[in-house]
A = this chain, B = another copy of it.
């Protein structure tokens, strides 16, 4: 290419990690190695913090087997950061880029990271520092706009669906109410994915609570009671970010919860305690926390591939002269599932999020509709099958059991 830009490359990871985020790093490194215009390949230690503090790691010096191994390693291999990048950070970043002749920058992250990438691109242009900045999407929350879905989400969906399908068998063994607190404070994509766990009408999840749909305490309790009456049990997938009709979190620290009680724990504990108190049925809860975003052993096959692909595509686009874009995932077909990459201006992404469309949610039955299941199935990949006995009961031959210690 005539106008090839020569220089060094920086790749960085930001925010909460995912099960597949390292695939994007490996994609960037693998593709960078194919282009002579890219000289040094630096991994920034702990996101933007590694640029501010000049903690840059020479990726060419790493053992290629270690790089390869990152493809099945969860967490951010380069380290991550939760720093909210502000205007005053940007000049320093460009300063460090100039000092290290960085002409290519790839930032793997969610909404905030795309804003940061956009700001860096803008300032570098203003200062006449020629460089290519490409955002690489990553978020278990799946809430970036302009892309069919986000790398990291499919694996989180697979984790949620697999875990709830297994919990449902446990719950069937010892029937009670079980509340699974699912990550995703503002967007309910992960919680919605619990729908994939369902095998038939009897099996859980019996109730799904999304942050996008206002939480109504009485309606919720009525639904739980209905399931307990029908099935002797109820499995609930509840987003940690569910809100009441006024937009207040159902479970925020040191507040009065939606039921009117003083709030002690998270959503799982709050719902379970209220169910026990109001309905008089035994309720348990689980808060898997960060486990939900790092279960690489359950990574979705398509997510692993796409996580890698967005890394490759980002470098290719940059070498071809693209700048100020985010890589997107474009669904070409559902059967067979086929997905390619595209590009969108960072300007169009910045500051925008994508909620679960409420038309995909049946608020009366508190379950996801078929449209959502169709959307998420290829992203999550296979969910382990379970076997459920028919139960052919034989005729009774004794008098009904009366416990002599109870009257």
Contacts and interface: CB of A to CB of B under 8 A. Distances in A.
Interface stretch (A129-137, A171-179, A309-317, A347-355): A171-179
A56 B42 CA distance: 66
A58 interface: yes
A239 interface: no
Interface string A370-407: 00000000000000111111111110111011011100
A369 interface: no
Given A69-B387, A398-B96, A62 B392 contact: yes
Given A99-B398, A173-B13, A393-B45, A387 B58 contact: no
Contacts of A265: 264-265, 269
Interface in A14-69: 16-17, 19, 22, 40, 42-43, 45, 52-58, 61-63, 65-69
A284 interface: yes
B77 A387 contact: yes
A398 B95 contact: yes
Contacts of A256: none
A171 to B, nearest CB: 8
Nearest to A40: B394
A56 B174 contact: no
Interface in A158-182: 162-163, 166-174, 178
Nearest to A390: B62
A286 B297 contact: no
A40 to B, nearest CB: 8
14 contacts: A19-B166, A67-B387, A69-B387, A74-B166, A74-B169, A75-B171, A75-B172, A77-B387, A88-B403, A99-B397, A166-B291, A171-B290, A286-B287, A296-B386
A200 to B, nearest CB: 13
A285 interface: yes
Interface in A59-87: 61-63, 65-70, 72-82, 86
A405 to B, nearest CB: 6
A206 interface: no
A389 B166 contact: no
A295 interface: yes
A288 B285 contact: no
B54 A387 contact: no
